[in-house]
Amino acid sequence: MKNLGEDYATADYRESFNWSEVIESLKELAAASDVEWKEAAFYIVVFRSRIPPTTVYADLGVLDQAAHAEAMKSGGFLKYWFGRPDQNGRNLATCVWRNQEDAKIGSVGAAHRKAAGATRYLYSEWRIERLRLLIKDGAREWNISQWTD
């Protein structure tokens, strides 16, 4: 998963990454493994933020690494991507999970609570988006939409 441009912090999420290439790789992997891809939905968490110049990136990095390690241990964590702040301090981080339940399990530990508590002083603004990546049978079609419970 790679960003397509440098405006990922503010651009539409669907257009910010090389999703077509990711899906094509999935098709190739399924074919090479002689597996027929069946429709599946994945849970995506998008964290958009603005980081003020006063934030110490080393502090942010320590919190991020601990939360990432915690998520990896929880199971169902498929991909993490973290950008670099633009000239205005805007940034994007994103996680792809097997499902919403895995995301809930992976985000309730001590490291995630500590990182969430630090948002007050590390970010001047932030918001979370929840998205659904649906990959249809055979990986012939896919879409990303707002997650609805």
Q: How does pLDDT run across 30-56, given as a tens digit for each residue?
A: 999 999 999 999 999 999 999 998 888
Judge whether 106 lies within some domain. Answer: yes
Residue 121 has pLDDT above 90, yes or no: no
Judge whether 28 lies within some domain. Answer: yes
Judge whether 7 lies within some domain. Answer: no
Q: How many distinct structural domains can be found in the chain?
A: 1
Judge whether 5 lies within some domain. Answer: no
**Hunting for tokens 């006063």 — which residue is that?**
54
Judge whether 3 lies within some domain. Answer: no
* Tokens at 51, concatenated: 């980081």
Residue 75 has pLDDT above 90, yes or no: no
Judge whether 31 lies within some domain. Answer: yes
91 beta partners: 49
- Write b or e for each residue in 98-115: b if 16 or more Cβ atoms lie within 10 A of its Cβ, otherwise e: bebebbebbbebebbeeb
pLDDT recorded at residue 119? 86
Domain CATH number, residue 125? 3.30.70.100
Nearest one of 96, 93, 97 to 76, comparing CA atoms: 97
- pTM for this predicted structure: 0.90
DSSP E strand boundaries for the chain: 40-50, 77-82, 90-97, 125-135, 142-146
Judge whether 117 lies within some domain. Answer: yes
Over residues 134-143, the pLDDT tens digits come to 999 999 999 9
Q: How many CA atoms lie within 13 A of 65 on its CB side?
A: 6
Mean pLDDT of 77-104: 94
Judge whether 34 lies within some domain. Answer: yes
User: With bands split at pLDDT 50, 70 and 90, how would you rate the model's confidence at 108?
Assistant: confident
Residue 61 has pLDDT above 90, yes or no: no
User: What is the percentage of the chain residues whose pLDDT exceeds 70?
Assistant: 100
**Hunting for tokens 């003020």 — which residue is that?**
52
Give me the domain span that covers residue 51. 13-146
